[in-house]
A and B are shown apart, each in its own frame.
Chain A
Amino acid sequence: SAVISQKPSRDICQRGTSLTIQCQVDSQVTMMFWYRQQPGQSLTLIATANQGSEATYESGFVIDKFPISRPNLTFSTLTVSNLSPEDSSIYLCSGWTGVAAGELFFGEGSRLTVL
C-alpha cells in the first residue's frame, strides 16, 4: 500500500493567518488530491494537485484561498489562507495508485482549529 505522510497533524491558528500543510507520498502514487472534512461531515474534494502546474480546483474552491503546489511527483503543499473559524476542518492529502491497483490512499489528516 502507498504511504502518505502529512504534517502538521494538528494546529491551532489565529483568524487572518495562514497555514501550510505538507504531504509526502511514496512513488506508487500517480495523482494527488486534497480533501476537506468539516466536523461531522463527509469528505469534499478541494483540488487535484498537478505536478509542476496550477492545481485544478473543484467548484467552490479558489486558488487565492487554497493555493496548492506540487513541485515533484511525491510532494505537495496546501495552504489555507486568511483563516476564519469556518476553515476549522480536517484536511486530507490523498494519492491515487493508478487503475491497475486502483486505490486512493489517504494521509492521517491535518486537524486545523481557527480561533
Chain B
Amino acid sequence: AQSVTQPDIHITVSEGASLELRCNYSYGATPYLFWYVQSPGQGLQLLLKYFSGDTLVQGIKGFEAEFKRSQSSFNLRKPSVHWSDAAEYFCAVGARDRGSTLGRLYFGRGTQLTVWP
C-alpha cells in the first residue's frame, strides 16, 4: 500500500528566504506524485505533479519539485517565498500500476507554512 510522509508539521521562514518542504513516499513502483496547497478557508489547489520524464518539475506560483527515486522523495522548493505563500501544503501519491484506480490519491499529513514579513 502507498503511504506518504511529510516529516515537518510546521515550518516558518522569512519572506524572501528559500523554502524546501520534504515528502517521502512508500510504494512498490514509480507512483504518480503531487503537491497541493490549501489556504485558510480555501479549497485544494494543485501546485505541480510528476508522472514521468524529467525529474525536476515546475509548477505554479514559482514552485518546483524534484523526484528522487533512490531516496523515494519528492521535495517541494521555492527560491524566494512570498507572504502569500503561507498555507498548508500536502504531498500526495497515486498508484500507476495496472489494475489500480487512477486518481485514487493518498495524502501526507501536511506541512503548515508560516511566512514572517
| A42-B109, A42-B110 given; A106·B103 CB < 8 A | no
**Contact A33–B104 (Cβ < 8 Å):** yes
Given contacts A41-B109, A43-B90, contact A103 B49 (CB under 8 A): yes
Q: Name B44's closest neighbour in chain A (CB-CB).
A: A106
Dominant secondary structure at the A interface: strand
Residues on A with C-beta less than 8 A from B109 are: 41-42
Q: Is the CB of A33 within 8 A of B103?
A: yes
Minimum CB distance partner of B4 in chain A? A42
Contacts of A41 in B (CB 8 A): 109
Contact B43 A108 (CB under 8 A): yes
Query: Is B84 part of the contact surface with A, judged by Cβ < 8 Å?
Result: no
Q: Does B102 contact A (CB under 8 A)?
A: yes
Interface string of A21-53 (1 = CB under 8 A from B): 000000000110100000001111100100000
Q: Is the CB of B49 within 8 A of A43?
A: no
1/0 contact string of A64-104 vs chain B (CB within 8 Å): 00000000000000000000000000001011101100111
Check B51 against A102 for contact (C-beta < 8 Å): yes
A53 to chain B, nearest CB (A): 13
* A25 CB → nearest B CB, Å: 12
A106 and B43 form a contact (CB under 8 A): yes
A103 to chain B, nearest CB (A): 5
> Separation in Å of the A38 CB from the closest CB of chain B?
11
Chain B contacts to A: CB under 8 angstroms:
32, 34, 43-44, 46, 49, 51, 90, 92, 94, 101-110
Known: A43-B107, A96-B103, A99-B102. 18 other contacts (CB 8 A): A31-B102, A31-B103, A31-B104, A42-B90, A42-B107, A42-B109, A44-B107, A45-B104, A45-B105, A45-B106, A92-B43, A99-B51, A102-B49, A104-B34, A104-B103, A105-B46, A107-B43, A108-B43
Closest 6 CB pairs of A and B: A96-B103, A31-B103, A106-B44, A43-B107, A42-B109, A42-B107
